[in-house]
């Protein structure tokens, strides 16, 4: 892992967390986390141009030979308000104290930047070998329940299981939640987890009652395979990318009670727009889904009627009428609310006969409306 080229004569710089874990697993890592045993802001200003610093957390962004790298000072933390953001206790603590504030042993490994030596204070290497997720102490989920979702994410990404005692701690926490926690952080982890589009993650989420973090209501596993729905109607269509499309909300929206999560206006609209009734004709189905987000349609498939939603997505959604207001004007029909009625009649006909050309549409409306 020769990611940065720093002449570290302090011998106190360590790659830490996910990047060390991913290298051992043979995976690419997205972020480079480097920690300095001591005060990183003071240390880094000696060998690079400081671009940004946050003295409260001891973090600093530096330009090292043209490469932007984030450094953190070793720090210890405590949770005076359980479930909420920790407070920094000490900046510049020992490496051991720094790793002990972390979530799982596999994320608590450090690698010396100069020597390449792996430092493993918590048994992370063995847990990586045994594919186990183990918290570092019994209060871990009480301090920070978002770690339960992080565990779910890692279990799906790497195919790991919770180690037995960690599972017991998780079950105990889930059986007695007080719902006083940072839902902003929880939402961030839910997004990362369910944007992976994994039915397996969702089954664990429901079956292991992890969903209780979001709602105290009882929820059952829906029969519909959400991963397949999202693959078929969103990802394989090539029309959406993950940023435009809220994959996570198609999963988490199933819970029906997201009032604790800080939702954006668009996310709330997706939930509010899920239709409540079951239309009968193709025209009614078309009109019901025509102007709502695909996420709302998929939630309807999961929660209400899969057949109707699939019928719309497979057979109806691509049907579009071609006649427009100018065509009606040219036929001598003066603009009025009647236009909508006419468009609806053309649509009803086209849903029965999707091969209609624009000429067929005009012929049809001439006959129907006597123009
Ligand atoms: P990813 O590949 O998803 O980025 P990561 O392990 O790098 O995985 P980050 O969210 O970037 O995940 O966190 C970086 C490191 O910070 C983790 O490896 C872990 O050591 C620590 N960490 C992150 N979130 C928590 C948390 N909620 N509680 C304790 N430690 C955490």
Q: What is the DSSP string of 40-75?
A: HHHHHTTTSEEEEEETTTTEEEEEETTEEEEEEE-E
Share of the chain above pLDDT 70, in %: 96
If pLDDT is split at 50, 70 and 90, which confidence band does 235 have? confident
Question: Given this model, what pLDDT does residue 64 score?
Answer: 79
How many angstroms separate the CA atoms of 43 and 150, rounded? 32
Model confidence over 188-211: pLDDT tens digits? 999 999 999 999 999 999 999 999
Running DSSP on this structure, what letter comes out for residue 274? S
**Whose structure tokens read 């209780």?**
212
Question: Given this model, what pLDDT does residue 261 score?
Answer: 98
- Contacts of residue 224, defined as CB under 8 A and 6 or more positions apart, other chains included, come to 301, 302, 306
Question: Given this model, what pLDDT does residue 152 score?
Answer: 98
Neighbours of 87 (CB within 10 A): 11
Candidate of 17, 30, 31, 124 to mutate for ligand 1, largest count of ligand atoms within 8 Å of Cβ:
17
3-class DSSP state of 149? helix
**How remote is the CA of residue 91 from the centroid of ligand 1, in Å?**
18
Model confidence over 144-159: pLDDT tens digits? 999 999 999 999 999 9
**How remote is the CA of residue 18 from the centroid of ligand 1, in Å?**
6
Model confidence over 39-84: pLDDT tens digits? 999 998 877 788 999 999 999 998 877 878 889 999 999 999 999 9
Nearest CA to ligand 1 atom 26: 103
Q: Is the pLDDT of residue 243 over 70?
A: no
Question: Given this model, what pLDDT does residue 236 score?
Answer: 84
Q: Is the pLDDT of residue 332 over 70?
A: yes
* Nearest atom, ligand 1, residue 108 CA: 20
Q: Is the pLDDT of residue 3 over 80?
A: no
* Nearest atom, ligand 1, residue 192 CA: 3
Question: Given this model, what pLDDT does residue 310 score?
Answer: 98
**How remote is the CA of residue 174 from the centroid of ligand 1, in Å?**
21
Model confidence over 92-110: pLDDT tens digits? 999 999 999 999 999 999 9
Average pLDDT value for the chain: 93
Q: Is the pLDDT of residue 241 over 70?
A: no
**Do 191 and 150 form a contact (C-beta atoms < 8 A)?**
no
In which region does residue 291 sit, left (phi positive, over 0), alpha (psi from -120 to 50) or beta (all else)? alpha
Neighbours of 335 (CB within 10 A): 9
Q: Is the pLDDT of residue 169 over 90?
A: yes
Q: Is the pLDDT of residue 35 over 90?
A: yes
3-class DSSP state of 77? strand
Domains and CATH numbers, the chain: 1-130 (3.30.460.10), 325-369 (no CATH)
Question: Given this model, what pLDDT does residue 11 score?
Answer: 86
Structure tokens at 219: 């929820």
Candidate of 33, 87, 136, 142 to mutate for ligand 1, largest count of ligand atoms within 8 Å of Cβ:
33
Nearest CA to ligand 1 atom 21: 102
Nearest CA to ligand 1 atom 17: 17
**How remote is the CA of residue 24 from the centroid of ligand 1, in Å?**
16
* Nearest atom, ligand 1, residue 185 CA: 27
Candidate of 18, 77, 95, 110 to mutate for ligand 1, largest count of ligand atoms within 8 Å of Cβ:
18
Question: Given this model, what pLDDT does residue 96 score?
Answer: 97
Q: What global pTM score does this model have?
A: 0.93
Residues within 6 Å of ligand 1 by CB: 17-18, 30-31, 33, 102-103, 107, 144, 146-147, 150
């Amino acid at each position: 892992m020769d990611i940065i080229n720093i002449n570290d004569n302090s011998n106190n710089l360590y790659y830490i967390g996910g990047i060390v874990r991913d290298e051992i697993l043979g995976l690419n890592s997205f972020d480079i986390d480097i920690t300095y045993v001591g005060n990183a802001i003071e240390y880094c200003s000696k060998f690079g141009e400081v671009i940004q610093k946050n003295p409260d957390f001891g973090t600093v962004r530096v330009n090292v030979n043209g490469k932007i790298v984030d450094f953190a000072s070793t720090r210890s933390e405590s949770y005076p308000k359980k479930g909420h953001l920790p407070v920094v206790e000490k900046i510049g603590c020992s490496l051991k104290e720094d790793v002990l504030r972390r979530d799982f042993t596999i994320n608590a490994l450090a690698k010396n930047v100069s020597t390449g030596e792996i430092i493993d204070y918590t048994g992370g290497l063995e847990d990586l070998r045994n594919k186990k997720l183990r918290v570092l102490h019994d209060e871990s989920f009480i301090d920070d329940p978002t770690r339960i979702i992080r565990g779910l994410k890692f279990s799906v990404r790497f195919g790991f299981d919770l180690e037995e005692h960690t599972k017991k701690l998780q079950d105990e926490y889930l059986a007695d939640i007080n719902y006083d926690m940072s839902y902003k952080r929880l939402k961030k982890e839910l997004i990362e987890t369910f944007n992976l589009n994994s039915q397996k993650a969702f089954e664990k989420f429901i079956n292991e009652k992890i969903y209780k973090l979001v709602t105290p209501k009882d929820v059952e596993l829906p029969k519909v395979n959400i991963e397949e729905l999202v693959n078929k109607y969103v990802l394989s269509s090539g029309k959406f990318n993950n940023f435009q499309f809220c994959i996570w909300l198609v999963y988490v929206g199933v819970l029906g009670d997201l009032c604790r999560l800080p939702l954006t206006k668009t996310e709330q609209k997706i939930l509010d727009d899920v239709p409540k009734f079951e239309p009968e004709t193709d025209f009614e189905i078309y009109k019901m889904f025509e102007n709502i987000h695909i996420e709302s349609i998929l939630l309807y498939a999961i929660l209400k009627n899969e057949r109707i939603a699939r019928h719309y997505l497979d057979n109806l959604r691509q049907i579009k009428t071609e006649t427009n207001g100018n065509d009606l004007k040219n036929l001598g029909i003066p603009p009025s609310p009647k236009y909508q009625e006419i468009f609806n009649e053309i649509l009803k006909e086209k849903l029965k006969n999707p091969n209609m050309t624009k000429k067929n549409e005009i012929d049809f409306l001439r006959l129907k409306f006597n123009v």
